[in-house]
Amino acid sequence: MRLLKQLVPVAAVAFVGYAVAGAVAGSPPATLLAGVATAVLAVLVYARVVRWSERRVPEEVATRGAARLLVRWTLVGAALFAAVVANLALVGGYRIDGFGSLAGAAGLVGSMAAAAATEELLFRGILFRIVEERAGTWGALVLTGLLFGMSHLFNPHADLWGALAVAIEAGGMLAAAYAATRTLWVPIGLHFGWNFAAAGVFGAEVSGSGATQGLLHGTTSGPALLSGGAFGPEASVYAVAAGLLLTVAFMWLARRRGTVVAFRRGATATLTR
């Protein structure tokens, strides 16, 4: 019941926010405003329902230091995707065909902010955190990572490999980021930076969701294993490798900090030190 009490209100904010964004899709300023409003409202609703259902202060979305963490990890996420694109370009799998649209990129700030905030609140803030109490950190990481990847199968150009790639590189990495830091601002920043760099900067397709209009007109080509094919660069082996490396780094940090939760058959899990 606690899972439903938290999941339903945040999912409702996401649903309404996406509906509004779809209705104003032709207007980048309106898309920017709707996306940012959805992200902010989702965080506020999450904080409220956690406080109500768990009788605690939701420190994972504490406002103190939030801006610093968001900026820092947005830059890390963008740099990580830029490294993937650089590797693709080196083997001829990515090229720039010209400049795109500044207005289009501004609209993508809103849509990517909404996606990053709502998905992290749902998958890491609620599902991962509650499942972790019983299944432990590793069990929750695998389960929610797979659910996160499979949720992308509904995108127009999605395929099974693309969904599995997202499960490995993003589902694992973002869960590990939360496990190591115990704040949702880190995975939200990583998620936003990665997605905005993909669509808003390099003009690449994000998770098979369709063409984007960012700062650059980017084209991918070559073997699907390297370029990601119709799904976009996230289905590239370079993206999977990048996500896996960061997952390992975060889990090493979580182990060192003593924030890895052990599997328990009872209702309460303990931290392994």
Q: Judge whether residue 45 has pLDDT over 80.
A: yes
Sign of CA dihedral 117, 75, 78, 23: positive
* Contact predicate 108/200, CB 8 Å: yes
pLDDT in tens, 166-185: 999 999 999 999 999 999 99
**Could you tell me the pTM of the whole model?**
0.93
Distance (Å, whole) CA 15 – CA 32? 16
pLDDT of res. 200? 92
Distance (Å, whole) CA 148 – CA 168? 9
pLDDT of res. 266? 53
Sign of CA dihedral 60, 66, 68, 74: positive
pLDDT of res. 156? 85
Amino acid, res. 271: L
Distance (Å, whole) CA 162 – CA 217? 22
